[in-house]
Amino acid sequence: MINKELLELRRAVKARKPEFVRQESWRYKRVKENWRKPKGIDSKMRLQVKGWPKIVKVGYRGPRVARYLHPSGYRDVLVHNVEELSRLDASRDAARIASTVGARKRAMIISKAKELGIKVLNP
C-alpha cells in the first residue's frame, strides 16, 4: 500500500482527538450530535469549562502530509476529461471522475486510466 506510514500517522493523531458533539445533544433527543459552534453568552462549552466537552480548534487538525489522502493511500484528484489524466502521477495519485461527466466520456477516462496505470476511485 502506498503512504502506509502517513495513514498510520493520521490514524494515531485521530485516536487522540476527542469526539466533538453539539452542546446539550446528550440532553435533548431533538438536538442531533452534529457539531455546531456554541455561541451562548453563558455557554459553559464556549468558555471551555472543565468537565464539559471539548470544542473544535485548529490544534486538533491532522498532520499536513497526510491530509486529503484517500483511505487507499493515494491522493484524491478530481478528473473531468482525458487530458487531465496526463497530469497525474500513477504512483501517488488516484482519479475520481467528476459527477458531471457523462457515460461516454467516463468510459474513455476509465480506458485511458487503465492504459496509464492510474487507479480510478469511482469507475
* Distances, alpha carbon 59 to alpha carbons 8, 15, 17, in Å: 19, 14, 10
Q: Which grid cell is 100?
A: 458531471
Tens of pLDDT, residue by residue, the chain (123 residues): 567 888 999 999 999 999 999 999 999 999 999 999 999 999 999 999 999 999 999 999 999 988 889 998 899 999 999 999 999 999 999 999 999 999 999 999 999 999 999 999 998
Cα dihedral 33, 35, 40, 45 sign = positive
Hey, which bits of the chain come out as E strands? 75-79, 93-97, 119-120
Distance CA 113, CA 123 (A): 10
Q: What is the pTM of this model?
A: 0.72
- The three-class DSSP label of residue 31 is coil
Written as nine digits, the cell of 63 is 498532520
Query: In the chain, where does DSSP find H-type helix?
Result: 4-16, 82-85, 103-116
* pLDDT at residue 8, as a whole number: 92
